[in-house]
Structure 1
Amino acid sequence: MGRRLLHRDDPAKAELIGNIKVTREDWLGAALDALIDGGEEQVKVKVLGERMGVSRSSFYWYFDSRQDLLDALLDHWQHCNTAALIAQSRKTAATITEAVCNVHHCVIDAALFDNRLDFAIRDWAKRDVAVRAVLTTSEEARVQALTEMFERFDYAPTDAFARARVLYFMQAGYDAAELGETLERRLSMAAHYLRIFTGVEPQPKELQAFADFVRAVDARDSKTVAQS
């Protein structure tokens, strides 16, 4: 995911008026970039202000303290990444393999689920007990949502829980491994992964729909990079 546009630089946002040079959204976006690029230690009010060309007083219009900003980053992560995964697990699906494909949209689409932000939060949690507690609660909610997804397709509770954990933690480890696989290589394995995750043979139309989604996202992202 590229660096977030500042509110004042984004033509899709309403024009800023008066003495307002940046918004709370701008401060949060700049802090998210800093967190992802260098960890929470790089989330410094002075540095963020210099990047945006504004004084520290602008920051205190929106946040009480640096800790308030850090708390906002965690809240943003939960309301974006965790909420997105849970919502995808609850999407209407005719089969369990289609349901798992819905969840894997999160893996593919950074606009839906920011994988880099997830890694940044995990890294942060290694050094902060409070963040570790938030991460644990969030991951439990994600696994619970996936467990309920399997249960909707008549998997026994323990089996549903085990499959949910395999699905969730396998993907986390897969992304961390940074295998550098091509898009087509990953798609060629989709049917095999779905069979392992669910014990069910995926339908050709499900695999085609997933492949179409993946290629559409890849084309969109490639176009965005080319225009930037």
Structure 2
Amino acid sequence: MSPKPVLRRDDPEAEPLVGNIKVTRDDWLNVAMDVLISDGVERVKVLALAERMAVSRSSFYWYFKTRQDLLDALLKSWEQTNTAGLVGQAGAPAKTVTAAVLNVWRCTANPDLFNTSLDFAVRDWARRSGPVRNLLDRSDARRVEALTEMFQRYDFPEVEAQARAKALYYMQLGYDMAGLNESGSYRLAMTSEYLKVFTGCEPEPGELEEFSSYSLQFWDP
């Protein structure tokens, strides 16, 4: 899939901006997010962002009081995307535990559900900031809790459900962090085996077909 335009004015499907407005609040957030992911939080500076968008720095203060307000908005966006996305997928209806795990793995395919690069950027940020570290710890705990509850819905005992939840969650983080150069076809071919490792159950063919159709919207074959 083609990446979404960072700036609204570059999006052919967006309504044109009117008057003297050249960028929106979302444009500031999107560019700041792009810089956070590519260069780290230290490079998220108001002047640099304004120069990147070719606008006056004063327009920043139409939407934010301070740089810290912008940083707080970035963290809120991260939580609303990644933590909410994973928790929502963990709670999605599914007839079997394998189907439930496949719902969660939709997060690995669709960046609108879980932006992996953004998660890594926030984790790097947390190494330099105590408050961000605390927020990350709370988010990790909420994600693991949601996955634990997911396994418990399929009659796994509490301790086993928590162990499976942690194994599933932290393996996925490590897997993504490794940056393996694997094709979508290879990942899908391994999905059945991964499901058996994490659930102890054989997936149903229809579940794999549905997940494959979904994932190939985002993964290269």
TM-score (norm 2): 0.95
Point out where structure 1 has 5 or more consecutive residues left out of the alignment: 223-228
**What is residue 174 of structure 1 aligned with on the other side?**
175
Deviates more, 1:95-104 or 1:52-61: 52-61
Matched, 1:38 2:39: yes
**What is residue 199 of structure 1 aligned with on the other side?**
200
- The structure carrying a bigger helix percent of its residues is 1
Q: Is the 8 A contact 1:194 1:200 kept in 2?
A: yes
Match of 1:216, SS? Answer: coil
CA distance in 1 between counterparts of 2:26 and 2:118 reads: 16
Number of residue pairs matched?
220
CA distance in 2 between counterparts of 1:125 and 1:5 reads: 25
Match of 1:20, SS? Answer: coil
Which one-letter code corresponds to 1:152 in the other structure?
Answer: R
The percentage of aligned residue pairs carrying the same residue is 52
**What is residue 210 of structure 2 aligned with on the other side?**
209
Matched, 1:61 2:62: yes
Point out where structure 2 has 5 or more consecutive residues left out of the alignment: none
**What is residue 145 of structure 2 aligned with on the other side?**
144
**What is residue 27 of structure 1 aligned with on the other side?**
28
Deviation at 1:13, TM superposition (A): 2.3
CA RMSD of aligned residues (A): 1.5
Q: Is the 8 A contact 1:4 1:30 kept in 2?
A: no
Cα displacement string for residues 131-157 of structure 1 (whole angstroms, at most 9, x for unaligned residues): 111111111111111111111111111
Deviation at 1:112, TM superposition (A): 2.3
Q: Is the 8 A contact 2:81 2:112 kept in 1?
A: no
Deviation at 1:216, TM superposition (A): 2.5
CA distance in 1 between counterparts of 2:61 and 2:45 reads: 13
Match of 2:171, SS? Answer: helix
Deviation at 1:2, TM superposition (A): 4.0
| Structure 1 moving runs of 4+ over 6 Å | none
